[in-house]
Amino acid sequence: MANMARIGVIFGVRRVLYFGIISFILVSIIAGTSNSMQTLLICRFLMGSLSAITYTLPVAIILHIIPQENKAKYCVNLLQSTVGTGLAFGTFIGGMISAYLGWRWIFLINVPFLSISLLCCAFSLPHIKSPSTNDKPDWLGAITLTISIVTLIFSLIEVARLSWISPIIFIPFLISIVFFTIFIYLEKNTSSPIIQLSLFSDKKFLSGLICSAFLSFFYSGVLFITPIYLAFFCHYSSSEIGFIFLSLSLSIIFFTYIQINLIKHISIKSILLLAQILFIITFLFFALINHKANIYDLMIVLVLMGAAWSFTLSPAMMASVSTVNPEQRTSAIGILWTSHGIGGSLGVSIVMIFFHYNLKNHVYNTLKAITNITTLNPAWLQQAVEKPQDAVQIIHANTGLPLHDVTTIFRNSFSFGFTSIFILNILISIFIFITVCFLYKSNNNK
């Protein structure tokens, strides 16, 4: 996203936005009519790349065409709140489309909506002069940053299955560090960097960046692990899980309206801190969930999470762009959404690592007390952790314990792993709360 933001600055945000929308339409048609998995994977990669345009440039356009500071902030707030609503509803609507219309329509439904968006832009969007028309794209910086992020995420995903000393993990992780170091060196020594490192000296920008990244970290992890927990541990059906998560989507819509009006009366800092308090309460309730939790208890917890989500997404954006120079705002937006995307990827990866580690250790320690298991990481135990739906049969076959006892052991261990994730999230939220307070205090003193 930082790459696309920079390209928008150089070639013009309107021109790049049109390219992104038209390309997204074409790729959606190809994906929706594809009969090949390889073609579908390529299309998904291209859609991810093109979505970087539609995420970053609309905010830059608003900040360019609306000179009034307060009105621009309101419009950015409204836009980001709409994005949050879309993110929350995406999983639910995507599931409904897949169930009733087929998976192809998940892609084809983009075509009419994007076509309407393109027509609206064509008739209403004015020409926006680029402030940096003499700059050139930093392709070397884009390549090194992309390699660094991809190899880091790959190593974190695979470490849940392998160990850190495995070459499959260690080598990509080392490559990530090397290329990130090269990227920082290049950015310091180029006249038109993708990421303007000077932005990170702005404490308010940094606070928004941290809150946005960890918002994505939180919701990606929760949306990944909670449906698995509800299906396996609480025995909810797919339709019941969809109904439960609908409360999250509706909560985001409701609290978005509250947030838009609340920010007129209290500071961005106060809203960001309130969001972390709500996250702490949410994760505490998640940690206390057991197999007897009913649908309405779970919906209340997700309503609280929706409030925290709404009080973070737009205020984090406004915190990041409100204090930077107008010439730097497009770059700032690109950096913010890049950190948001990285946070989401790391959220899923770290949740997998943390959950598998605690689940496996809890199973191992329990079995060690009642059986003759001697090795810390038997292959069958790793297999049981990776395939929870078959775990009871796998453990039963390798230990000879009664099925009832094995079921109880694994359910308790699964619950322990689930709870440990939210304890980690509580600690992270406390850290973010303290960090935001410190950054704003440092900025005021400066």
Q: Are 8 and 44 in contact (CB under 8 A)?
A: no
In the chain, domain spans: 1-135, 139-189, 200-446
Q: Are 138 and 6 in contact (CB under 8 A)?
A: yes
CA gap 279, 430 in Å, rounded: 9
Cβ contacts of residue 199 below 8 Å, gap of 6+? Answer: 205, 324, 328, 331, 332, 335
The single-letter code of the amino acid at 440 is Y
3-state secondary structure string across 351-401: HHHHHHHHHHHHHHHHHHHHCCCCCCCCHHHHHHHHCHHHHHHHHHHHHCC
One pLDDT digit (tens) per residue for the chain, 446 residues: 666 666 766 677 778 888 888 999 999 999 888 888 888 888 888 887 787 777 777 777 776 676 656 666 667 667 766 776 676 677 667 767 776 787 888 888 888 988 998 888 888 777 666 554 556 667 788 788 888 888 887 887 776 666 667 788 888 889 999 999 998 888 888 777 777 777 788 888 889 889 989 998 998 888 888 888 888 777 777 777 777 888 888 888 888 888 878 887 888 889 999 999 999 999 999 888 766 677 888 889 999 999 998 899 888 888 877 777 766 776 777 788 778 888 887 888 888 888 888 888 888 888 888 776 665 557 788 788 778 778 888 888 887 888 888 888 888 888 888 889 999 999 999 999 999 998 887 655 55
Spatial CA neighbour of 64 closest among 306, 362, 333: 333
Task: Judge: domain 200-446, CATH 1.10.1370.30.
Answer: no
pTM: 0.79
